[in-house]
Amino acid sequence: MEIPESHQFRTVFYEHYPVVRRKLVALVRDEAAADDLAQEVFLKLYRNPPDDPGALGAWLHRVLTRAGYDYLDKKARERRLQSKQELLFEGEGAPSGEEELLRLSEQEEVRNWLEELPERDRQALLLRYSGYSYEEIAQQLDMRQPLVGTMLHRATKRLRQTAAKAMPQRD
């Protein structure tokens, strides 16, 4: 399906935009964000249309759903970061010297466990816990996005196994 013909694309846009926007508003509960996300969906359609014209509706639904979930994930990460920053600036969450020493010690242990993992697992976990989305991780690791979740699950499992092996060695 070669949509980028300006008249054909305009027709598809005017026909499908209201539905795409309505679904995004229902998903993200923010009209301004839904407008932006709908534009992104149609920009993706313009740049890389589906091969089968009969699958356009399903393709749009899949892309808008992914865009909406990525937006919600990003907002959740921003809220968590803001909460952490507020705790630090309020002074209530300021750790004592002993707590800070324990935290640094735990970080060092986790770093050591991560070093025992294969490079790709280590990179994937570090990217995810640095706030990267599945799409960004897939780009960084040069892999297909649908495989990222499975890879992260397996990497987390390996990290837990590594930590479990190391735990009895304490004392």
Spatial distance between the Cα atoms of 126 and 152, rounded to a whole number of angstroms:
10
- Are the C-beta atoms of residues 69 and 77 closer than 8 Å to each other? no
Instruction: State the average pLDDT over residues 13-38.
Output: 95
Give the pLDDT confidence score for residue 171 in this predicted structure. 46
Judged against a pLDDT cut of 80, whether residue 122 lies above it is answered with yes
* Percent over 70 (pLDDT), the chain: 90
Give the pLDDT confidence score for residue 169 in this predicted structure. 53
**pLDDT of 48-93, one tens digit each?**
989 888 899 999 999 999 999 999 999 999 999 998 888 777 655 5
Domains and CATH numbers, the chain: 6-81 (1.10.1740.10), 95-169 (1.10.10.10)
Higher pLDDT, 22 or 121: 22
Spatial distance between the Cα atoms of 27 and 109, rounded to a whole number of angstroms:
40
Give the pLDDT confidence score for residue 92 in this predicted structure. 54
Spatial distance between the Cα atoms of 86 and 89, rounded to a whole number of angstroms:
5
Helices (DSSP H) in the chain: which residue ranges?
6-28, 31-47, 56-90, 97-115, 119-129, 134-141, 148-166
Burial of residue 59 (number of CB atoms within 10 Å: 0-12, 13-18, 19+): buried
Q: What's 146's DSSP letter?
A: G
